[in-house]
Structure 1
Amino acid sequence: MKILFYGINFSPELTGIGKYTGEMAQWFAEQGHEVRVITAPPYYPAWKVSEGYKNTYATEQWSGVTVFRTPLWVPEQPSGLKRLIHLASFALLSILTLLKQWSWKPDVVWTVEPALMCAPAAVTFAKLNGAKSWLHVQDYEVNAAFDMGLIKANWLRGLVESCERWLMRCFDRVSSISGQMLKLAKQKGIDESKIISFPNWVDISAIKPLNDVSPYRKELGISDDKVVALYSGNMGGKQGLEILAETAKIMEQQNIKNIQFVFCGNGAGRADLEAACTGLNNILFLDLQPFERLGELLGLADIHLLPQRADAADLVMPSKLTGMLASGKSVVATATADTELGFVITEEANCGLIVTPQNANEMANAIICLAQDTEARAKYGKNARIYAENRLSKEQILKTFEQDLKELISK
């Protein structure tokens, strides 16, 4: 197959969509498919073009994949309006690169939301060029933008959502990563025959329970008697990171000394989180760590922390969850039982505890409870690993997706 992946984020970005699209493109190339990618220079989650890359048009070869980089505008402090301009800049400036793929004649054009702004060009190009079109929804960015107040002009919502529904119906296939997100696709009027489940995955051979203590403990000077509560990933607006600082503050006020918080990541919300943690002695901050050390980093946790805002429930499924589960450690997440995240944590995987979003007292109590119960942490961690092996295997998920692509192209 000739597969054209089209989206704003790609490897070597270490988190979110860039990580997954990079792994997917590499996997398809390894299977012998011809793979091209139209993307931007890496900038996320730091909101700054990475060292070694220029914000210009460029072509590179990466792991058997031809990658076309397109310039874009990257705001230092992304706000609602700035994000829209940022996304629009890539959508517009990438059209020329997309048109240059005309003579290559891909079998399928695959694009991802976010950024939905790329979808009009992707589906139009595919229809005119005789290719199949596939939209993959990682986040329902339109719903999230309004529900979370990133776009405050609510009078626009009806119009924007109508355009979104029309656009989604133009694709030959629409996929998403969770059951609730697939239900939302149906509610938006997408024909059920077009909707495909395509969950996020994890490389269970690369991320697995450690046989020994994580080397990060010694490097960070964390004593063996401390229970590590780890947040690792993007520090952005959908995570509700303020609860982490509030929880750590409650712990310090209660003079609880056996719990060490480690907050690892970068993003638009990190500066605010660091400011909120000023004066607290039970927190360590780390930048995003190299991918080859991800297993060691996740293995540092005794308890993984997974905050999520209530107004983002079921509009996104945190991609970082897959690595947490594969590491074989317990999880404390902010979610209600009626959300998919809550159901996975408490029922499907049975890997930890959930607490009410934005309730720092509940989160503190849950962490204290697990910190005092070694057997519960071990049970939840074992369950997490079993779930990852049975449901989240990268090889299994991508083989299924490959077959879905072949079936689509054959029609």
Structure 2
Amino acid sequence: MKILLYGINYSPELTGIGKYSGEMACWLAAQGHEVRVVTAPPYYPDWKVWQGFSSWRFSKRQEAGVTVIRCPLYVPSRPTAIKRLLHLISFSLSSAFAVLAQLRWKPDLVMLVVPTMFCAPQALALAKLTGAKSVLHIQDYEVDALFGLSIVKGDKLKRFAFAFERAVLRAFDRVSTISSGMLQRAEQKGVDKEQLRFFPNWSETARFHDVPRNAQLLSRLGVDPAKRVLLYSGNIGEKQGLECVIDAAEQLAERTELVFLVVGEGAGKARLLDMCLQRGLSNVIFAPLQPYEDLPSLLASADCHLVIQKRGAADAVLPSKLTNILAVGGNALITADPDTSLGLLCSEYPGIATLVEPESVRALIMGIEAVLAMPVPNVIATRYASEFLDKDHILTRFLAEI
């Protein structure tokens, strides 16, 4: 089968959507499918195009058996509301040429990964003109996130954005997303239940099974291996609201056996560094993103995993980091309301993680204490991961369903 995968994020990005899109394309190619990808140069999560790639030129090359076409885009070093929109629009405009150039190739399946919804018109046009099946895979509800986090404001703009989103969702043959709560939201937006497919993010569970704590890795990151590690790993952006972690660290500064380790990059990192410097905090250590090969050891070395989100992001975005945390048997502290996908997960599988109120420093500190009292490894988490999050099982089922 000829499959076109279309999305702004792709390998070699190590976190978030790009990681999963890259793994999916390589898996499909390994199964014997002819796979092409239209994407952008890697820039996430540090909002800077990686060395060896260009933000202004088209490129086409083979990567792990996949034909990857990278398109120019604008990448703001300090993303604001307007700059984020220009960033997304710039990719939609440049990539439209690459997508419509696939008319001669005639794909059997066109799959658009959201964000960004701005790319939907050309994806639908290609599918219509070639007779391909169209699939919209929602990793983030970008419209909900933009307005829920007040990144974009205005009642008229909001009504237009949601009307456009509704029309796009209904136009695809299939709409898939990564959680039960996000599926329910798609129904609320007008998608017929027969169109919907559940396609969760996955983990290479075998890589994360029975991994020991790595004192050498912690020392390399500047952490005393004898201390209890409270880890946040991933994107440091607006959706997370990590300022409350710094506030919690300040209140727990006298607990010398605890250390906060923040591993990652993103638009909000400089602000957090300034907060720690101004408050003279020595119990918060920052480190860059680690190679994927070291991820199992990093996750296995934490006593508490901080899965932090603002309230407005709940069920608009779902933290992909949680899959590997569960696979390694980590004890996660999740900030989400009980009626969100993460909240429902915690109620349906008691003990899988600790759920606390978002954007509350007091709740965060109480949650940390609860997590530190939990046994390690978390066997409920590892059992759930092996049963529901295995990469081969998820991808095989999804391909059969679409």
Common fold, TM-score beyond 0.5?
A: yes
Aligned ranges 1:215-234 → 2 under 5 Å? 215-234=216-235
Aligned counterpart, 2:308: 307
Q: Counterpart amino acid of 1:386?
A: R
With over 3 angstroms needed to count, the CA separation of the structure-2 counterparts of 1:15 and 1:248, relative to structure 1, is same
In structure 2, the residue corresponding to 1:54 is in which secondary structure?
coil
96-105 vs 32-41, which deviates more?
A: 96-105
Q: What is the correspondence of 1:193-272 to structure 2 with a 5 Å cutoff?
A: 193-252=194-253, 255-272=254-271
Structure 1's unaligned 5+ residue stretches are 406-411
**2:384 matched to which residue of 1?**
387
Aligned residue in 1 for 2:400: 403
Please give the alpha-carbon distance, in whole angstroms, between the structure 2 residues aligned to 1:236 and 1:149.
14
Q: Is residue 215–residue 296 contact of structure 1 (8 Å, CA) maintained in 2?
A: no
2:46 corresponds to: 46
Quote the offset at 1:385 in angstroms: 1.1
Aligned position for 1:408: none
Compute the displacement of 1:214 (Å).
4.6
Contact 1:349 1:384 survives alignment (8 Å) = no
CA deviation vs aligned residue, 1:69-95 (integer Å, no higher than 9, x gap)? 100111111111111111000100111
- Deviation of residue 212 (structure 1)? 4.8
Does residue 3 of the first structure (1) align with residue 3 of the second (2)?
Answer: yes
**SS in structure 1 of the partner of residue 376 of structure 2:** helix
Distance of 1:8 and 1:224 partners within structure 2: 38
Aligned equivalent of 1:292:
293
Unpaired stretches in structure 2, ≥5 consecutive residues: none
Query: Does the 8 Å contact 2:211/2:297 carry over to 1?
Result: yes
Checking the alignment, whether the CA contact within 8 Å between 2:213 and 2:300 is kept in structure 1 is no
Give SS of 1:218's match.
Answer: helix
Shift of 1:348: 2.3
Report deviation, 1:207. Answer: 2.4
Q: Is the 8 A contact 2:9 2:39 kept in 1?
A: yes
| Aligned mates of 1:197, 1:280 — CA distance in 2 | 43
Of 176-185 and 269-278, more deviation after overlay is shown by: 269-278
Partners of 1:352 and 1:163 in 2: how far apart?
37
* Contact kept? 2:221, 2:287, Cα under 8 Å: no
User: Which amino acid letter does the alignment assign opposite residue 19 of structure 2?
Assistant: K
Within-5 A mapping of 1:6-405: 6-55=6-55, 56-252=57-253, 255-278=254-277, 279-348=280-349, 350-371=351-372, 373=373, 376-378=374-376, 381-405=378-402
Give the letter for the 1:209 counterpart: D
Matches of 2:293 and 2:335 in 1, distance apart? 28
Residue range with higher mean Cα deviation, 214-223 or 161-170: 214-223
Q: 1: distance between equivalents of 2:13 and 2:366?
A: 35
Contact 2:100 2:122 in 1 (8 A): no
> Equivalents in 1 of 2:30, 2:139: separation in Å?
24
User: What is the distance in 2 between the residues matched to 1:212 and 1:247?
Assistant: 25
- Alignment partners' CA distance in 2, 1:166 and 1:323: 34
TM-score w.r.t. length of structure 1:
0.94
The Cα of 1:181 is off from its aligned counterpart by: 0.7
SS of equivalent residue, structure 1 residue 210: coil
Looking at structure 1, the residues matched to 314 and 221 of structure 2 have their Cα atoms a distance apart, in angstroms, of: 34
Q: Could you say what secondary structure the match of 1:396 adopts? A: helix
Residue correspondences, number:
399
Q: Aligned partner of 2:395: which letter? A: L
Aligned-pair Cα RMSD in Å:
1.4
Aligned letter for 1:274?
L
Deviation at 1:158, TM superposition (A): 1.0
CA contact (8 A) 2:263 2:286 kept: yes
1:208 shift after superposition: 2.8
Task: Please state how far the C-alpha of 1:154 moved relative to its aligned partner.
Answer: 2.6
Q: Deviations over 1:184-240 (max 9, x none)?
A: 111111111111111110111222331353531232353443111100001111111
Cα distance, 1:342–1:215 mapped onto 2, change above 3 Å:
farther
CA distance in 2, matches of 1:341, 1:25: 27
* SS across alignment from 1:101: helix
Moved more, 311-320 or 30-39: 311-320
Once the two structures are superposed, residues 314-354 of structure 1 have per-residue CA deviations (whole angstroms, 9 ceiling, x without a partner) of: 21211111011111110111112222112223432622211
3-state SS, counterpart of residue 218 of structure 2 = helix
SS at match of 1:136: strand
Amino acid at match of 2:13: E
Deviations 1:232-281 (A, max 9, x none): 001111111111101101101xx111111100000111111111222101
Once the two structures are overlaid, the 10-residue window that deviates more, 274-283 or 219-228, is: 219-228
Q: What amino acid maps onto 1:403 in structure 2?
A: A
Q: Report the more deviating stretch, 346-355 or 298-307.
A: 346-355
Q: What is the rounded CA distance, in whole Å, between the counterparts of 1:18 and 1:280 in structure 2? A: 33
Aligned residue for 1:205, secondary structure, equals: helix
